Every structure is written in structure tokens, then in C-alpha cells.
Amino acid sequence: MKIIDFLTVFFGKVMVKTLHLLKRDAGNAPGLVLWTLNKKCLRAFKVDCPIIAVTGTNGKTSVTNYLNNIFSQGDKHIITNRQGNNLDTGICSLLLNNCTMTGKVHADYLVLEVDESHVPVVFSQLKLETLVVLNFFRDQLDRNGEVETLILKVKKFLETYEGNLILNGDDPNTCRLGLANPNNKNVYYFSVDKYKYATEKLYEAGEGRFCPECGTALEYSYYQYSHVGDFHCPKCGFGNIKPYVQFKNVDLREPSFTVENDKYVTVNNSIYNMYNLAAVYTASKIYNIDKDIVRDCILNFRVNNGRMESFQYNNSTLTLNLAKNPVGANMTLRMLNEDENEKELLFVLNDNLADGHDVSWIWDINFTIFNNVTRVVTSGTRAYDIAVRIKNSGYDPEKIVVKPDLNDAVEFLFSISGRKYAIANYTAVQPTRTALKNFINGKAETV
């Protein structure tokens, strides 16, 4: 370690301690300052435990929270960024908050959610033991660029990586990463067997239609959602992997699945949650975690935090789900459409820095099937854009109500009782939760 790295961490730690003494929440600021001063500062942390990282476009926060729940059982000490501060500066802040003055980080496990584009820089400096890659979808084009650029960046890092690599074997974009380093014997694929609503055709914008090895069009026997499904290359055989873990008998009604001849029941009824759980199960299996712990977590643990979170007000149930790209939004709409009852939709769209200012991704959302949706309320800084998008899909404009102020939108939504769904993008999800809670609690107090 260079003395300069040691000094930057020491300086950062003094900064954190001072902020604590002043009773100020240090937040992301110390990491940002340190990173600005020295982009190699992560080298100075001495972590004495395995580091498990989760990356991919959708599901990082959920999987990280599940792993944190499982790995912390039995009084294990976990350090994790469960709130999703997943950039290099966020991880730097997390370590600063949990290290000694000399940069020692002591825990049983570090479980980190890491933004895809930050994986190479963070783990060229910290020794990674296990990397989970969930999926790659088109996401925040103005910040991340095309998805192919991002995949190549991660692939380059993996060419010299020999740790555990847990990959979604049903997504060609992640499956291909297993070929990045032929010397790595620690590649584990997870897969989910065909479920009831799998389709023979691709109905949503998908990436990865061509074989990354030889460029031939991939052949699919079915799509689970977006471009995730059972594929192979007819020319070179890419995609013929042997899954280490495969979920079978997926039933979204109960919801449940079987794996290794055992049945598991869970709380979330979406196919993409099944994929998240398959990733969680795989990591738990590699680390020999007691199956009862895994079963209990799968049965009872809820991530909440705007991920399939339920809110109850009088006779109305609302399910809120974060969606920051077309695939995420399509998944919530799929769930909404699989519900035969009448329902309303609230869509909150912001265009702040963390969302990407470019909201053109909403045109890749599939609004053509709107099964029994009686009313749509739109809100957020781009409330009008999403209203226009939905109107353009052929939905009756008379049933679309624009309420840019979130509190107004929530109040209006609950002026009629009944089943409700809400979609909110990245910076919209927490304000939407707050508006929902304030409305529900405020009303409860006056009853």
C-alpha cells in the first residue's frame, strides 16, 4: 500500500468522525471527497472477510437485501449498502464508515450492491470472492450508454477474474460472461424452468438477439420475459449450459417453486422475483448456508423499499414497484394485466440526474394490453410525458388524469376505493412511498 492511500483513508476517517461528533449524517459525502482526491483509495482498505457483490440492471437491491438477511443469520456481522448507494463513491463511504483509523474493515461478510459500470474500478482495488450478475437490459442510455458497451466493460474485468461467478443462464447477455475467462473453474449458472406465462414470441424490446460468439440469430424455445428465456445458437451451440441451480414448477398463484426436489413458498408473485431468488439460492448453496435459513428467508422476507411493496388504505390495496427501465415497467404491467379485477394505475416519472434526463425509454414500455384498467393517474416531473405516452398507446385519454404534485396524485387516486398499482422510477420511488405513507397515516389519524 502506498503511503498516499493510507493518508487519504486516514483523512477520510477523520472527516467521518468529525461529522459524527457534529451529529451530522455523513451520507455519501466522505466517499465523494476521498474519491475526488484519490481514485485508488479503495486499495487502502484492508477487508478481512469474503466480499460478495451483486450487479446487473434489475434486481440488485432486492438480491443484496435477501443475501444480507440470509448471511447475517446466527449473529454474523455483515457490512452492506442496503440502501443502494452502489457507485464507487458510495462503496468508499460505506467502508469509511466501517473501518478503523488505519483502514481495517472487520466483518463476516461484505455484501455489496454494485452498479454494473463500477464493477471493474471497484474490484480492481478490492479482492472480490463472489460476483452475482443478474441480467443486462437497456437502462439509462444517457448515463450508461448502450448495453453492449456495459457488458464489454464487465467482460473485460472478468477475463482475469477467477473468483466465484454466479450468472443468469437464461439471459444471453450474462450467460456469455461465463466464457470471459476459460481458466475460471468457478462459474455457476442459475436458470428458471418455463413458467405458465412464458411466450413463444418476444413481445417486449429485447437485447441480445444475436449470438455474442458468432453473430448468428439466437433461437428461442420460449421467452420468460423480455429476452430472458430458453435460447441457444444453432451454429456454435452458445447457450447450452448446465445450470448449477434450476427452479422448476414455478407457480405464481401460490407463489412457489421447487429446487433440488424441495418445494419453497415465497411472498412475491412475479417471474423476475423467481430469478432473483434463484440467484440468492445459488449464492447460499455455494456458501453451504443451512437450507432452513434459506427457506425461512424465501418464505418470510420482504424487501419493501418500493420493491413490490404493499400499502393498505380502507378497502384499497396498492402495490408499488420501482421501474427505471422498460423491462422493469413491463414486469409490473404484466403482473397488473394478469390480475383480472378492475384496477387503477399510478405512474410517477421523474427526470432527475440519477434517472437520466432522457425519458425516451418510456416509448419502449408495452402499454398495448391494459386489462381492466379503469383509470390512470400520472405524476412526477415528467407527468405529462408519461400521460402522452399512454394516450398514444390507444388508451382512452378521458381516463388519464395528470397530477404533477405527488400528494395531489395520491389523494386523487384514493378518492375511489379498489385495487391499485403504482410504478415509480428511480428518484420517484422514495417520494412516492412518503406520499403514500403520509396520506394513509394522515387519514388514519383523522378517523
- Among 238-246, 270-278, 296-304, 341-349, which window interacts with Zn ion (CB under 5 A)? 238-246
Find the part of the chain contacting Zn ion (CB under 5 A) among 8-16, 54-62, 231-239, 244-252.
231-239
The packing angle between helices 271-286 and 291-300, to 10°, is 160
Q: Which is nearer to Zn ion, 145 or 237 (CB)?
A: 237
Nearest-approach distance from CB 172 to Zn ion, in angstroms: 10
Around Cβ 97, how many Cβ atoms within 10 Å?
A: 18
Strand partners, 220: 231
Q: Residue 260: which residues within 8 A CB-CB, separation 6 or more? A: 245
Q: Are 56 and 134 in contact (CB under 8 A)?
A: yes
Closest approach of Zn ion to the CB of residue 205, in Å: 22
CA distance 28 to 316: 37
| Sheet containing 109-113: order of strands | 78-80, 109-113, 51-55, 130-133, 164-168, 187-192, 245-251, 256-259, 262-265
DSSP state of 307: B
DSSP string of 3-63, one letter each residue: HHHHHHHHHHHHHHHHHHHTT---TTHHHHHHHHH-TTGGGG-EE-S-EEEEESSSSHHHH
In the complex, minimum distance from the CB of residue 186 to Zn ion, in angstroms, rounded to a whole number: 24
In the complex, minimum distance from the CB of residue 210 to Zn ion, in angstroms, rounded to a whole number: 8
CB-based burial label for 7 (10 Å; 0-12, 13-18, 19+): middle
CA dist 331 and 328 (Å) reads: 5
Binding letters toward Zn ion, positions 169-208, x by CB under 5 A: ----------------------------------------
Q: Which is nearer to Zn ion, 237 or 442 (CB)?
A: 237
Stretch that binds Zn ion, among 92-100, 214-222, 342-350, 378-386 (CB under 5 A): 214-222
Task: Choose the binding region for Zn ion from 1-9, 121-129, 189-197, 228-236 (rule: CB under 5 A).
Answer: 228-236
Strand partners, 164: 130
Report if residue 236 touches Zn ion, rule: CB under 5 A. Answer: yes
Residues contacting Zn ion: total by CB under 5 A: 8
Which stretch, 98-106, 146-154, 226-234, 327-335, contacts Zn ion (CB under 5 A)?
226-234
Which position among 45, 137, 189, 238 is part of the footprint of Zn ion (CB under 5 A)?
Answer: 238
Taking the complex as a whole, the smallest distance from the CB of residue 214 to Zn ion amounts, in Å, to 3
Residue whose CB is less far from Zn ion, 216 or 300:
216
Binding region for Zn ion (CB under 5 A) out of 10-18, 227-235, 375-383, 429-437:
227-235
- Residue 235 Cβ vs Zn ion, minimum distance, rounded to whole Å: 5
Binding mask 275-294 for Zn ion (x = CB under 5 A): --------------------
DSSP H helical ranges for 243-358: 271-286, 291-300, 326-338
Give the nearest distance from C-beta 212 to Zn ion in angstroms.
Answer: 8
C-beta closer to Zn ion: residue 31 or 212: 212
Cα distance between residue 44 and residue 100, in whole Å: 12
CB nearer to Zn ion: pick between 216 and 372: 216
Residue 157 lies near Zn ion (rule: CB under 5 A):
no
Q: What are the distances in angstroms from CA 390 to CA 97, 264, 364, 384? A: 44, 38, 11, 10
The residues near 52 (Cβ < 8 Å, ≥ 6 apart) are 67, 71, 109, 110, 111, 112, 129, 130, 131, 132, 283
- Asked if 213 is part of the footprint of Zn ion (rule: CB under 5 A), the reply reads yes
Residue 289: enclosing H or E segment and its boundaries? none
Name residues contacting Zn ion, limited to 353-392 (CB under 5 A): none
Relative to beta strand 400-402, strand 373-379 is parallel
Q: Which stretch binds Zn ion (CB under 5 A): 117-125, 127-135, 191-199, 237-245?
A: 237-245
Residue 234 Cβ, how far from Zn ion at the closest point, in Å?
Answer: 8
- Minimum separation from the CB atom of position 136 to Zn ion (A): 18
Which chain residues interact with Zn ion by CB under 5 A? 211, 213-214, 216, 233, 235-236, 238
